[in-house]
Amino acid sequence: MSGMEMMSETLLKPIKAGLIGAGIQASLTPAMHMKEGRAQGLSYEYDLIDLDQLGASIDDLPRLLSEAEERGFSGLNITHPCKQAVMPHLDELSADARSIGAVNTVVLKDGRRYGHNTDWWGFAQSFRRGLPGVDTSFVVQLGAGGAGVATAYAALSLGAAKLAVFDREQQRAIALSRSMQEIFPDAQITAGGDLVEAMQRASGLIHATPTGMSGYPGLPLPADLLDRRHWVGEIVYFPLETELLRQARQRGCPTLDGGGMAVFQAVGAFQLFTGLQPDANRMLDHFKSMTA
């Protein structure tokens, strides 16, 4: 077989991937992966493995992982409520997944399962593009759940000097601040107590809760705490224009919507699944066309 024939056979070999999570029927991830796969000359299949649709739970993860392996999947994306629960069922973890304590991407290769986290990288890449050069001396973050862990790791990786984490469950904020302090000993990381005082001192705000999503309308903090000196980074992308971003823009704040994080986590996962470098700008354009 010639080199050209071998290359052709490789490109035509189907790539199979999927997303495991609950309530994921509206996810845009399959469309992003499959369209980029076609653009790269791949036969790319991407399935939704929805726990709600299957009547399944996190207890079924061992079976679902095994079934994906039996079907020849190259990998799986993992979302709520499985990002922590999947970890004991993997053979190896990347350094960032281990530090963050959550996995959103599993590579299945040679009978082994490799856990990665592309959420933090996705937020960091989006931040670099969307808010270049902003002041990260004192960042307030709302939310200490799975997404909040990733955005905190990203903010500190980008050089945030101080990070104050707020969450309705104070113990989650305390746990996140302690775990990040171990990883980033030179930063000052606290579980916030007085949001008004923190926002008066803050240079920027990261929002990492579901508030603002279609099913959770409203604002995650009083709008009058926002000031034009703040930049505002959002993780919600359904809708892309949240009430928080609308209020921030009215006050002249530089803003970052949640679309970039969604796209760049997919960019990272695509590369892990296929070994190919995706075209990030093309994936961003496709995402924007689906959310316009």
Phi and psi for 55 in degrees, rounded to 5? 65, 35
Cα distance between residue 200 and residue 12, in whole Å: 56
Q: Span 24-50, mean pLDDT?
A: 96
The mean per-residue pLDDT over the stretch 27-37 comes to 97
Across the chain, mean pLDDT equals: 94
129-183 pLDDT, tens digit per residue, is 999 999 999 999 999 988 999 999 999 999 999 999 999 999 999 999 999 999 9
Can 162 be counted among the known catalytic residues?
A: no
Average pLDDT in the 195-213 region?
96
The single residue listed with the structure tokens 């903090």 is: 221
pTM of the model as a whole: 0.91
Which residue of the set 16, 35, 83, 162 is catalytic?
A: 83
DSSP state, residue 225: G
Pairing of strands 105-109, 112-116: antiparallel
Residue 215 pLDDT grade (very low, low, confident, very high; cuts 50, 70, 90)? confident
pLDDT digits (tens, 9 = 90+) for 234-258: 999 989 999 999 999 999 999 999 9
| pLDDT at residue 96, as a whole number | 95
For residue 146, the model assigns a pLDDT of 85
CB under 8 Å to 160, separation ≥6 — which residues?
A: 136, 137, 138, 139, 187
- Structural domains in the chain, CATH included, are 15-117+261-290 (3.40.50.10860), 135-253 (3.40.50.720)
Residue 148 exposed, middle or buried by CB count within 10 Å (0-12, 13-18, 19+): buried
Examine the pLDDT at 82 and tell me if it is beyond 70.
yes
In this structure, what DSSP letter does residue 80 have?
Answer: T
pLDDT in tens, 271-289: 999 999 999 999 999 999 9
